[in-house]
Amino acid sequence: MKRHAKLLLLLLAGDVAATPQLLPFQGHLTDAGGNAIADGAKVVQFKIYDAPVSGTAVWAGEVHKLSVNGGLVNTILGTKTAFSETYSGGAKVMFSEPLYLEITVDADGSETITAADPPLLPRQVLLPSNFSHVAMSAETVEGVDLVDDATGTLWPTVLKENSILAVHLADGSVGAGEISDDSITEDDLSPALRQRLSLGLIPPGTIAPYSGDVAPPGWALCYGQEVSRISPDYVALEGIIGDGRFGLAADPASDFKLPDLRGYFLRGVDGPDGSAGDRDPDIRNFQGPTALGTFVGSVQSDELQSHSHGYSDHRTGGNPSAGNPSEIGGGVTYPRYYASSTTRAAGGSETRPINIAVNYIIKL
């Protein structure tokens, strides 16, 4: 025999933050003809599902032995089996969305609920308003475990991707103390921000010695290669050295040259502020692509500073110099002789200090 239930659910008054949560229940049980079931004690089982038909039991339920009087029964649900704070893997707060109460009455008088006792149809809907101020206020603040106690971090289901935007954060509301180590990586930054940080730390055009054979990302080896002016990789560098200071490309309109620093030492520009620093005594021998003088990109060839060596030479032979008087010494007259000669060549193929070879790289 099918039975139906008309029910009234009331929110238990009192402190909504108190535990356990309780759901008062009052229902009117009738048979298929609409007549109230007979008075007396009845065993009744209650369960809560997330769908009106089939679905998943979000509350395992409890069994009560209730007194029926004129078809009316009442009890308080949650006294035997506590309501969970969330369901659906923690993604939903209990009673924040419509749920469905399934009622099963002991129809055969066996004092227990078995497969022979079909649930009353239909399931009774529990609207969010019944528990609104518990589900949407107390539950979301105090009743739900938002934080993983083991790690101290929010559960992944709490925050969805892009759910918190910059406009939601007041200036200065998130400081270094609120950000744990390694919680923000380079992959979390936008390409534009990564580029600004890179340019701020090492500006384009910076030249550095490098011990590797292949330039790291964002750098290029300095061997005089020609690169495109419009390439995204070189556009920032083009604004620094694209004026041909390191030589002109075969097609200057579309390309520019990187410095060729193979075999070179670097030397500071004399007077970079436009004044005559007088730090380079041979400034006239700087050669640039378009002008003489010291500026970034100008080059000096190898050279040995002008100097002389004095030495004494005694000869027993040579060519007499015509018209030179003789020298008299010890009562003997000797003719004077002049001799010309050079010192023996010694040294290497260039003049240099002690050094070690590295690659030079330039920041793009």
| Nearest CA-CA partner of 266 in 296, 305, 230 | 296
Clarify whether residues 206 and 295 are in a common domain. yes
Residue 347: inside a domain: no
Q: Is the pLDDT of residue 346 over 80?
A: no
Q: What is the structure's pLDDT at 182?
A: 78
Clarify whether residues 198 and 101 are in a common domain. no
Could you say which DSSP state residue 294 is in? -
SS3 per-residue string spanning 33-66: CCCECCCEEEEEEEEEECCCCCCCEEEEEEEEEE
CATH number of the domain at 127, please.
2.60.40
Q: What is the DSSP string of 110-135?
A: -SS--TTSPBPSSPEEE-GGGGHHII
Clarify whether residues 133 and 224 are in a common domain. no
Clarify whether residues 106 and 222 are in a common domain. no
Q: How many domains does the chain have?
A: 2
Q: Is the pLDDT of residue 257 over 60?
A: yes
Q: Is the pLDDT of residue 71 over 60?
A: yes
Residue 340: inside a domain: no
Residue 152: inside a domain: no
Of 188-197, 313-322, 328-337, 346-355, the range with the lowest mean pLDDT is: 313-322
Please list the alpha-helical segments (H only) found in the chain.
132-133, 191-201, 235-241
Q: Which residues are paired to 144 by β-bridges?
A: none
Clarify whether residues 118 and 211 are in a common domain. no
Residue 323: inside a domain: no
Q: What does the alpha-carbon distance between residue 147 and residue 74 come to, in Å, rounded to a whole number?
A: 37
CA distances from 148 to 153, 159, 180, 266, 295 (A): 5, 13, 15, 57, 62
Clarify whether residues 122 and 207 are in a common domain. no
Q: What is the structure's pLDDT at 95?
A: 78
Clarify whether residues 105 and 40 are in a common domain. yes
Query: What's the predicted TM-score (pTM) here?
Result: 0.43
Q: What is the structure's pLDDT at 18?
A: 46
Contact (Cβ atoms closer than 8 angstroms) between residue 362 and residue 259:
yes
Contact (Cβ atoms closer than 8 angstroms) between residue 14 and residue 22:
no
Per-residue pLDDT band for 10 (boundaries 50, 70, 90) equals very low
Clarify whether residues 136 and 205 are in a common domain. no
> CB atoms < 10 A from the CB of 37, how many?
20
User: Which residue would you say has higher pLDDT here, 307 or 322?
Assistant: 307
| % of the chain exceeding 70 in pLDDT | 74
Clarify whether residues 201 and 88 are in a common domain. no
Q: What does the alpha-carbon distance between residue 109 and residue 115 come to, in Å, rounded to a whole number?
A: 13
Residue 345: inside a domain: no
Q: What is the structure's pLDDT at 114?
A: 92
Of 16-20, 177-181, 225-229, 273-277, the range with the lowest mean pLDDT is: 16-20
Q: Is the pLDDT of residue 137 over 50?
A: no
| % of the chain exceeding 90 in pLDDT | 29
Per-residue model confidence as pLDDT tens digits over 158-199 = 777 777 877 878 887 777 777 878 778 878 888 878 777 776
Q: Is the pLDDT of residue 320 over 80?
A: no
User: Which residue would you say has higher pLDDT here, 172 or 53?
Assistant: 53
Q: What is the mean pLDDT of residues 340-353?
A: 75
Clarify whether residues 112 and 226 are in a common domain. no
Residue 177: inside a domain: no
Clarify whether residues 49 and 106 are in a common domain. yes
Residue 215: inside a domain: yes
- Domain range for 211: 190-302+356-364
Among 107, 125, 142, residue at a domain's last position = 142
Q: Is the pLDDT of residue 138 over 60?
A: no
Q: What is the mean pLDDT of residues 36-40?
A: 86
> Residue 298 class from Cβ within 10 Å (0-12 exposed, 13-18 middle, 19+ buried)?
buried
Residue 154: inside a domain: no
Mean pLDDT, the chain, as a whole number?
78
Among 79, 114, 142, residue at a domain's last position = 142
| Token representation of residue 277 | 């620093």
Amino acid present at 15: D
Clarify whether residues 221 and 364 are in a common domain. yes
